[in-house]
Structure 1
Amino acid sequence: MMKGSKALMAAGLAAAVLAGCSSNSGSNSSASPTASESGSPSASPSASPSASPSASASPEAAKPDTSKEVKLKMYLIGDAPKDLGLVYDEVNKLMKKDINATVEPMFLSWGDYVQKYPLLFATGEEFDLVYAANWNKYGEQANKGAFLELTPELLNTYMPQTMKEMPPEAWEQAKVKDKIYMVPSSYKGFSHVVVGVRGDLREKYGIPELKTVDDFEKYLDAVAKNEPSLVPFDAGASTYATGDLIINTKFTPKLIIGSSGVSVDLKDLSGKLIDISQTPEYMEYAKKMADWNKKGYWSKNALLNKTPIKDSYLAGKSASMAGNLLDMSLSVATANQNHPEWKTELFDLYNGAATFVNPYIGDGMAINANSKNPERALMALDLLRNNEAYFNLTTYGIEGKHYKMTADGKVQALGGSESGFKVDSGSPWGWKTAALYKPLSDQPPEFKEIQEAWTKTAVSNPLLNFVFDTTNVKNELAALKNIADQYRTPITLGVVDDPVAAVNTMNAKYKEAGLEKVVAEAQKQIDAFLQSQK
């Protein structure tokens, strides 16, 4: 967190920018964040419920009452680590003392969250805190009334530390129809995919260092032909990595219409929508996936596979993994600690292709609209985000058992494969703050190299902050999701007899389901949004 004069400057900037400037949804009044593999309208007075919060101190009279003990229930996405209970016992010792509350984390696994997340709200289950993100249909759920509106009064009263730390831009991105429903992460990074492979096998079969998807394919082919005990790439129904590697190195897409391929290419400032599913590049991708499937690059039951790719790799069942840079960096460090003989390597296959930095709303936390303890939930989140003791526990585990700090301020993970709480394994991304997140002592050197390379190729486009308001096309979007489940996933995994026919059928079904209507609505909102930026 900033101190001294910097804090005063930040507070003044937040008040000026958030209370007095235009917001980026002249269209956010018509926009909600899109799901992405991973705004705001005209200004309104800071006293208004729809204004962005400012970093002003709450009056003493508004000091929260914590005399009654409360138990908070929190939903996260991921798979709970073995020592989660031990870690949260320590968290709750602190929280009981600080705000007379305890928190119980619940997990929606990677294999089930797509189906189970919406049901949390549809069934009226009682809970308080929940992970929220633009790639997980934050705007759509906000429009449905799933989340509590976070007014400036609530945030200034119950999250004063966050008010000082949060970049003003983050609040603008979190707006849906000019109201805030999420406390975003303040850590900005990349969601682009990198791959991890076994260096010992790459060297064994004489494959040069990987620079392109074709290089990766040569590696997979060598494993498929020579290592019968290993799955080359253990893909599953939730796998997005192949599309990101092959499609996103040709386009620089921001997905606008979930469950479809309709995106904007961020290199194009005109904002014209493109349906990637109807491009020659997508057809070639479908053919390649069918070819990879026939060659045995993943298992025959891939459609039923719910095991995360990195878990399969770390268990020694597969020869490669793929995911975002931070997650793969952690996985490479774990692999090299547990199995140094694998010589696990991290590779960037973008090869100079354009990239973009994630919006802040790529991770965040929201309050359930039906929470019985919203004020205490916000206070708990303020501690998780800004208090180093809470942050370290939920991100790294218990010091001395799961990690230790090195002399140069880095985190050294302990326990190897036997650790019951690996770094980030408790799914703390929703409260990740840039000031408190620490580097790992064994972080692969490729992490910094790739990050620097992507920073150089990162494009800037106001549409990074655009959010699509799905209110007028809810029925069509529900139909599109059904089409995606039935047709798109099999194409992604290549489990189709004729990829050309499969793509043509999928696109025809999309049209029947009303995709053209959704595209027209999205394009209208994008055009209005871009006009508001001039």
Structure 2
Amino acid sequence: MFKKKSLWLAFVLTFVFILSACSGNSNKEATSPKPANEGTETATEQPATEQPAAAEEGIDTSKEVKLKMIFVGPKPVDYDTVFAEINKKLKEKINATIEGEFLDWSDWAQKYPLKLAANEEFDLIYSANWAGYNDQALKGGFLELTEEMLSKYMPETWEIMPKSSWDQAKVDGKLYMVPQNSGESVEKLVLYREDLRVKYNLPAIDSPEAYANYLKAVSENEKGIVPFTPETGDWKLHNLDRILLKQQSEWNMLDFDLPIGFKLTDETGKIFNVYETEEFKQLLYYYKDLADHNAWSKNVLNNKNDHQQDFKEGKTASITHNMGTLGSLKAAMERENSPYKAALADITPAKKKSQAVATQNGTSVHATSKNPERALMFINLMQNDKELHNLMMYGIDGVNYEADGDDKLKSTDKTANYTGFSNWSFNSPLNRTDAAFPEEASAMSKAWEATVYHYPLETFVFDNSKVKTEVANVSNVMLRYAIPLEYGAIKDVDKGLEDLQKKIKAAGIDKIIAKVQSQVDAFLAARK
């Protein structure tokens, strides 16, 4: 008996030693993850018999962690019930729970940077190239994510995420985001009222000219309907610009907060000021003509309406967005037996199509998070655990959606109670597609996928750290001088454009372009 006890004691001591060795590097600074048992005042001990599975991999999850994530978009109606289910599963798997805070579309652009600048207490935040990811990373708002952290705390994501996606998410050689793991198109479409097009015997809406004719016809004949309503907060180089400048001219923009672009087919990567191009000048005439024909509300610059809801209710005759959003809206209207017949229009059909870079959607860890290791484990589960992924992306099966096989879903009368916010950062191969997604959208999407154009600067990331003042100044000029021009609010287009060009130059656009060009040249040289 004494011999057996001695052997048992030796086994226990050996096991304790192994556990101690696994956590031996837990005192590193911010570049390495903090111990899982630090940084929560609400931590509670968990019995060893209930230790989550992560502990088997040498990760200490013995103390409960409460995570907080900032999303953009409105808080879903069924948030409480869905997140309660998510938290049950998280508690079992990593001994953590998640609380969401939502920045509504009407004011997210103002509140988002303030959340980071104020160093508020939260752990995770939705991040994206269109939400200032590069800028916020360089300002220190996000935690740098090392290979050691990623391979340890999110091994599945680290293994299956394409290397190109990790590379695209790097800023100045460092990683601050876990990008989505699913490709998507960034091209913009128009959703319009097909019943109105037929009513007025208009030709197919397949060009900028045909779209303008449609808007004018609605304005002249449907006095209670606004022909076009832009997305709230969609100002600098907005969605219609992206169709009529980016797509029509086969350009791309390095940053939609700056008026700089390049031609997709230009192997030399020549950067130019969009506001100095003939294409932009002609677009202003196009916009002025539409404004004079009342194609949008006179109050367009102050409008805070939900453009999608306005379209559903028949208050507006057209909106712009990406295919997924508009296709889903069309499907919802058909499911709800809407009296309005919606249709999708690609008004740049013959132009080259490009795919979103990985940073189109992603998740970043707040630089001051007290629980970065558990935050990464959370992201890993959301992208790779099918049960949790379904909950986060679609809500409760049988309530917010009905599973249709392994990769499709059917909507329910409560689908709308869990949509519209930025859970897209967790896009992954586990995504389901709506079985009722419009056939025309699916066909268009497949056609685009087959002709995606890959260009030399597809993975280039601009480091604006040396021109931050100029970037801020240019941004202010865009809001003050460019936006009124683009909505036809300036009577003399030529004079307005001249003023804009002078103000942009004074703000430092040439210095920014020079800095971008030098980085582009170095990037292209390194590829040879």
Sort the TM-score into its range (normalised by shorter chain).
0.7 to 0.9
Counterpart AA for 1:238: D
Cα distance, 1:409–1:473 mapped onto 2, change above 3 Å: closer
2:107 aligns with 112
Say what the alpha-carbon RMSD is for the aligned residues. 2.0
Which one of the candidate residues 462, 466, 487 is aligned to 1:468? Answer: 462
Deviations 1:161-204 (A, max 9, x none): 21222111111111122211100111111111111112211111
Which one of the candidate residues 356, 359, 373 is aligned to 1:358? Answer: 356
Cα distance, 1:62–1:150 mapped onto 2, change above 3 Å: farther
How many angstroms does 1:272 deviate by? 0.3
Counterpart AA for 1:277: Y
How far apart are the structure 2 equivalents of 1:256 and 1:194? Answer: 20
Describe the SS at the equivalent of 2:466. Answer: helix
Which one of the candidate residues 183, 189, 192 is aligned to 2:187? Answer: 192
Counterpart AA for 1:486: R
How many angstroms does 1:506 deviate by? 1.1
Counterpart AA for 2:364: A
Deviations 1:219-248 (A, max 9, x none): 211211111121111125525222122112
TM-score, L = length of structure 1? 0.85
Q: Which runs of 5+ in 1 are unaligned?
A: 1-48, 51-58
How far apart are the structure 2 equivalents of 1:250 and 1:227? Answer: 29
Cα distance, 1:478–1:426 mapped onto 2, change above 3 Å: closer
Which one of the candidate residues 491, 495, 500 is aligned to 2:489? Answer: 495
Counterpart AA for 2:102: F
How many angstroms does 1:62 deviate by? 6.3
Which of 1 and 2 has higher RCO (CA within 8 Å, sep 6+)?
Answer: 1
Describe the SS at the equivalent of 2:433. Answer: coil
Which one of the candidate residues 174, 178, 181 is aligned to 1:179? Answer: 174
Q: In 1, are the aligned partners of 2:270 and 2:517 still within 8 Å (CA)?
A: yes
1:414 aligns with 412
Q: In 2, are the aligned partners of 1:79 and 1:109 still within 8 Å (CA)?
A: yes
2:136 aligns with 141
How many angstroms does 1:258 deviate by? 4.9
Residue 234 of structure 2 corresponds to residue 238 of structure 1: yes
How far apart are the structure 2 equivalents of 1:152 and 1:483? Answer: 40
1:391 aligns with 389
Q: In 2, are the aligned partners of 1:237 and 1:489 still within 8 Å (CA)?
A: no
Describe the SS at the equivalent of 2:351. Answer: coil
1:443 aligns with 437
Q: Percent identity?
A: 36
Within a 5 Å distance, the mapping from 1:375-386 to structure 2 comes to 375-386=373-384
How many angstroms does 1:253 deviate by? 2.4
Counterpart AA for 1:472: K
Q: In 2, are the aligned partners of 1:78 and 1:110 still within 8 Å (CA)?
A: yes
Deviations 1:92-113 (A, max 9, x none): 1111221111111112222222
How far apart are the structure 2 equivalents of 1:204 and 1:408? Answer: 41
How far apart are the structure 1 equivalents of 2:335 and 2:485? Answer: 36
Residue 159 of structure 2 corresponds to residue 164 of structure 1: yes
Cα distance, 1:313–1:367 mapped onto 2, change above 3 Å: same
Which one of the candidate residues 80, 89, 94 is aligned to 1:99? Answer: 94
Q: Which runs of 5+ in 2 are unaligned?
A: 1-30, 33-53
Cα distance, 1:107–1:492 mapped onto 2, change above 3 Å: farther
Deviations 1:403-446 (A, max 9, x none): 11235842111016x84124xx232111110x111111110112
How far apart are the structure 2 equivalents of 1:439 and 1:63? Answer: 36
How far apart are the structure 2 equivalents of 1:325 and 1:96? Answer: 36
How many angstroms does 1:492 deviate by? 2.4
Q: In 2, are the aligned partners of 1:310 and 1:322 still within 8 Å (CA)?
A: no
Q: In 2, are the aligned partners of 1:77 and 1:131 still within 8 Å (CA)?
A: yes
Cα distance, 1:528–1:348 mapped onto 2, change above 3 Å: same
Residue 505 of structure 2 corresponds to residue 511 of structure 1: yes
Describe the SS at the equivalent of 1:110. Answer: coil
How many angstroms does 1:61 deviate by? 8.5
2:402 aligns with 404
Larger Rg: 2
TM-score, L = length of structure 2? 0.86
Q: In 1, are the aligned partners of 2:467 and 2:512 still within 8 Å (CA)?
A: yes
How far apart are the structure 1 equivalents of 2:488 and 2:233? Answer: 11
How far apart are the structure 1 equivalents of 2:67 and 2:436? Answer: 35
Cα distance, 1:159–1:268 mapped onto 2, change above 3 Å: same
Describe the SS at the equivalent of 1:462. Answer: coil
How many angstroms does 1:75 deviate by? 0.8
